[in-house]
């Protein structure tokens, strides 16, 4: 069986004001009635999958258990981070925890901010990587790019090698010119951020590429404290870890990566423009959500997140407007990717 390790401790600032420090995007129902976190847990459940290990910030612990219960998923183990240290420490903590029982445990590392509507097709793609992972490889799942996105990592592959094909090079979040070159040469896929490996493989990769982090996390797991069914990682060694993503700490450096191309629909709902692209629109390209009225608008999205609050757009073009009870965003749709920096400014204002 495969144990899903669901990473859901990110803060998703580019989807402000729906995504908040206290309630980030992965827990919000952005598309459909369930959250992206719930959709992730459901996608990785059923035959062949063990109960998940969820790694999250301690602040989100009850959101996690409540949302899993809502969709009928066994909560498995929930590891709590005392502070945010990005995905490398989170994933390694889960691998060390699972290795205590079985070093050969197969792990599927899964971000929780993806929209992948065809779950059976994705589960089938995962199965094609199992043998390679059991033999000590790290299998990544790649998506054929349709634009020069700079918010994703890129996987360089040999176009005609059989799948899983050995990865030539991993480039995390390139600049625009590099992304355009990689997009047009046909030999690169987007990194979906989903990885399959054994606990032993990940620990060995970390011993090689991030030994200090491994020592700290061993300590954080060794001194972890059970609390109401949660496992609280020890604060002091955790705080001593660098804030670094698994892509940068391990994947860019490892030499045992293989790629399975996933051809089903995949999207990281990272910003409002991505949410807009997935929303149902009328003949003018306008999408509304909640009590919203769009008059003579085009290529615009209006969302109200509370039943008591109406939002009206009149004569708008290429706008996203999001109304929360305590905050409103009105933005040029093409610039919604800049929101992360804007939210940082807002937080600095206090
Ligand atoms: N537990 C935990 N702790 N989870 C975290 C943390 C953390 O400190 N930080 C982020 N996460 C979770 C997020 O909630 C998300 O589900 C996942 O880890 C990935 O983090 P993102 O911050 O969304 O990463 P990204 O989208 O910028 O980049 C990654 O994903 C892309 C595809 O979606 C990279 O893997 C890219 O290479 C990749 O293309
Ligand atoms: Mg993401």
The pLDDT tens digits of the residues spanning 72-81 come to 999 999 999 9
The pLDDT tens digits of the residues spanning 125-175 come to 999 999 999 999 999 999 999 999 888 999 999 888 899 999 999 999 999
Lowest mean pLDDT across 45-49, 304-308, 331-335: 304-308
313 Cβ closer than 6 Å to some ligand 1 atom = no
CA of 236 to the centre of ligand 2 (A): 27
Q: What is the mean pLDDT of the chain?
A: 95
CA of 254 to the centre of ligand 2 (A): 21
Ligand 1 atom closest to Cα of 247? Answer: 35
Predicted ipTM of the assembly = 0.98
pLDDT at 45 exceeding the cut of 90: yes
Q: What is the pLDDT of residue 159?
A: 80
pLDDT at 220 exceeding the cut of 90: yes
CA of 153 to the centre of ligand 2 (A): 10
Ligand nearest to the CA of 36: 1
Percent of the chain at pLDDT above 70? 100
Minimum CA distance residue for ligand 1 atom 2: 9
Mean pLDDT of 313-337: 95
The pLDDT tens digits of the residues spanning 56-72 come to 999 999 999 999 999 99
Higher-confidence residue of 285 and 308: namely: 285
pLDDT at 281 exceeding the cut of 80: yes
Q: What is the pLDDT of residue 202?
A: 98
Q: Three-state SS string across the chain, please?
A: CEEEEEECCCCCHHHCCCCECCECHHHCCCCCCCCHHHHHHHHCCCCCECCCEEEEEHHHHHHHHHHHHHCCCCCCEEEEECCCCCHHHHHHHHHHHHHCCCCCCEEEEEECCEECCCHHHHHHHHHCCHHHHHCCCEEEEEECCCCCCCCCEEEECCCCCCCCEECCEEECCCCHHHHHHHHHCCCEEEEEEEEEEEHHHHHHHHHHHCHHHHHHHHHHHHCCEEECCEEECCHHHHHCCCCCCHHHHHHCCCCCEEEEECCCCCEECCCHHHHHHHCCCCCCCCEEECCEEEECCECCEEEECCCCCCEEEECCECEEEEEECCEEEEEEHHHHHHHHHHHHHHHHHC
247 Cβ closer than 6 Å to some ligand 1 atom = yes
The pLDDT tens digits of the residues spanning 309-324 come to 999 999 999 999 999 9
Ligand 1 atom closest to Cα of 113? Answer: 16
Spatial separation of the C-alpha atoms in residues 63 and 69, rounded to whole Å: 10
């Amino acid at each position: 069986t495969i144990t899903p390790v669901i990473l859901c401790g990110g803060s998703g600032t580019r989807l402000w004001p729906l995504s908040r420090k206290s309630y980030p995007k992965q827990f919000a129902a952005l598309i459909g009635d369930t959250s992206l976190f719930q959709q992730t847990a459901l996608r990785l459940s059923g035959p062949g999958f063990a109960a998940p290990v969820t790694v999250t910030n301690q602040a989100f612990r009850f959101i996690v258990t409540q949302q899993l219960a809502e969709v009928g998923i066994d909560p498995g183990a929930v590891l709590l981070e005392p502070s945010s240290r990005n995905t490398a420490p989170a994933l390694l903590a889960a691998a060390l925890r699972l290795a205590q029982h079985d070093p050969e445990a197969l792990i599927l590392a899964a971000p929780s901010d993806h929209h992948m509507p065809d779950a059976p097709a994705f589960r089938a793609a995962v199965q094609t990587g199992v043998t390679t992972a059991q033999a000590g490889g790290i299998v990544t799942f790649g998506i054929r790019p349709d634009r020069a996105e700079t918010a994703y990592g890129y996987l360089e592959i040999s176009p005609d090698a059989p799948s899983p094909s050995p990865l030539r090079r991993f480039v995390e979040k390139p600049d625009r010119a590099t992304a355009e070159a990689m997009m047009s040469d046909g030999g690169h896929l987007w990194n979906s951020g989903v990885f399959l490996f054994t606990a032993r493989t990940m620990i060995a990769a970390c011993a090689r590429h991030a030994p200090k982090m491994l020592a700290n996390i061993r300590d954080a797991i060794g001194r972890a404290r059970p609390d109401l069914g949660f496992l609280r990682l020890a604060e002091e060694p955790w705080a001593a870890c660098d804030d670094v993503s698994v892509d940068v700490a391990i994947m860019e450096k490892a030499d045992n990566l293989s790629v399975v191309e996933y051809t089903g629909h995949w999207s990281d709902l990272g910003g409002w423009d991505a949410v807009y692209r997935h929303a149902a629109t009328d003949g003018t390209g306008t999408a509304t959500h909640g009590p919203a009225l769009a008059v003579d608008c085009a290529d615009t999205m209006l969302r109200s997140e509370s039943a008591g609050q109406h939002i009206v757009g009149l004569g708008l073009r290429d706008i996203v407007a999001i109304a929360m009870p305590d905050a409103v965003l009105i933005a040029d749709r093409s610039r919604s990717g800049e929101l992360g920096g804007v939210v940082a400014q807002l937080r600095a204002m206090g």
